[in-house]
Amino acid sequence: MEISEIDTQSITATKIDIRKLSLLELESNLLEKGEKKFRAKQIYEWLWQKSAQNFDVMSNLSLKTREILKENFVINGISTYKVQISADRTIKSAFQLHDKHLIEGVLIPTSSRMTACVSSQVGCSLTCKFCATGYMKRERNLDAAEIYDQVVSIAKQAEENYQIPLSNIVFMGMGEPLLNYNNVMEAIQKITSTEGLGMASKRITVSTAGIAKMIKKLADDDVKFNLAVSLHAANDEKRNQIMPINESNSLEALTEALLYFYEKTKNRITFEYIVFYNFNDTQKDAEELYRFAKKMPCNINIIEYNPISDADFVNTDADTLEKFANYLENKGLNVNVRRSRGKDIDAACGQLAVKK
């Protein structure tokens, strides 16, 4: 390594990641450097409303102020590493982080909405047996700004490719959002704030594999966004086989947490259920799902399985899937059968795993 490279890295390491500062912290920091207090609000608008990735674009700041920013701060933005477009118009992006880690995000266009599917971690620690990300090592949590940047980038793709604004965000990409709780909550606060993107909370869904104590924390924090639970089996024995998290967060504990969440927020819960051939697709499985789901106001999304190279699961056949869904509907549950999007580019549910 060249001496100049070492020096550059050392200097960069001493700079403050400016987007980790609150507005008040930024004001205090700038006052110490002889800047006016109102500059902080101008900079904050550039960072969040305008998603600036460098200080030179901040045109209403003096050159002197911009130099002070460059000397003391850094913007650790994400960059687009690779883009793939599916035959069904789904767009998958590999994003590179400032430390060279890669994550994936997906734009899912349908006739009624434009949805950004974003990641919350580099890899995942939960090892769900049907999910490609579960076979990756969890490297680290994403910070709030890195989550925010994914939304900004995917929103730009929606406008540039389809001339339609982004309408929804789902935290269903790489990682378990509730194991990166503080950063996910901060990102959502910025996404919904008038200081940020100003998106309505009801257009955001956070999906979890079922961390009971964190679901209760969501309730205590009185969140306004939607909650989805990756269920995939409604008895503990089967769920333990495919989702090891269930061993420490049983269906009984999950039920208690979800009832608590509903009582506090009055938000219906969405259950996601992948129907695997000859595993969880029988009449008995449907009955177990009904008995579990009827305890609370909910929606059920029946999802096709999307094959991955690390697992031997197979999607159930169309007739079995239809009978499964019909049984639940006839019992009075609200059921949607979701068709996979972006399967040909490994962008569908459960397929995200960075391939360089």
Catalytic residue set: 104, 349
Around Cβ 69, how many Cβ atoms within 10 Å? 24
Which helix (H) or strand (E) element contains residue 14? helix 3-14
Do 243 and 129 touch, CB atoms closer than 8 A? yes
Do 133 and 353 touch, CB atoms closer than 8 A? yes
Q: What is the DSSP letter of 220?
A: H
Nearest C-alpha neighbor of 258 from the set 280, 226, 285, 287? 226
Do 220 and 264 touch, CB atoms closer than 8 A? yes
Q: From CA 199, how far away is CA 189, in angstroms rounded?
A: 10
Nearest C-alpha neighbor of 342 from the set 70, 107, 67, 80? 107
Residues near 332 by beta carbon (within 8 Å), at least 6 away in sequence: none
Do 331 and 282 touch, CB atoms closer than 8 A? no
